[in-house]
Amino acid sequence: MRFAAAGIHLGTDRAGQALALPGPGPGGARVGVLGDTLFGRLFALRLLAVGAAVTAATRAPAAWQGLRAVAGERLRVTGGHGDWPPLPAAPPGPGGAPQALVSELPRPPAAALAAGPWRTVVHVSTAPPRSPFWTEPDAVVVLDAQLAAAAGRLLGAEAARATGALAPGEILLIRGGAGYVLRPDIAPAENAVLTPGLAPTRPRPA
């Protein structure tokens, strides 16, 4: 089974097929990310691009300053999940916006936060605990072969095997019960926002 390039674009697989993460829509979406926090900021940037209002729950607010300078009031940086969403989630338009939560905190958000239309909740961690949030999320992204043990603990032996086989620069997307190996597409303009003053991260091969 393949997914069309709908939702939030993630990258392309070895055959050149575009793959996406669930984006804001009439159903809520719960996304787990095994890996570093840069990916959470990338997903937040792309959620902002499709009209969502984003809340970042983090212990490192300084890392979000570049994105905050671009997003303005549409990005809120906090230290917890307790008051999310700050406004009712709604379709994009003058009357409101989809609400997205990107959490880097050790404790996952409550799974119930994603239960509702126009809500997207993301948890980014290298070692998340077992929790309702990580029980059958809508999608999981694993960012590095070194996370095979964590993938196996949360997702099973097949996820551990697929993660351990990732080549440098490849990531694993698990969605709809299937796994896809791909390379993330990150534009130079996105790198400039996410890592100001640093060399581009995970460049797309020619």
Task: Give 54's strand partners.
Answer: 75, 100
Tens digits of residue pLDDT in 3-24: 333 589 999 999 999 999 998 9
Query: Which phi and psi (to 5°) does residue 157 adopt?
Result: -65, -40
Q: What is the pLDDT of residues 104-142, one digit of tens each?
A: 999 999 999 999 999 999 999 999 999 999 999 999 999
Give yes or no for residue 206 having a pLDDT over 90: no
- For 40-62, the DSSP string reads HHHHHHHHHHTT-EEEEE-S-GG
CATH of domain 8-194: 3.40.50.300
Q: What is the pLDDT of residues 49-59, one digit of tens each?
A: 999 999 999 99
- pLDDT at residue 203 above 50? no
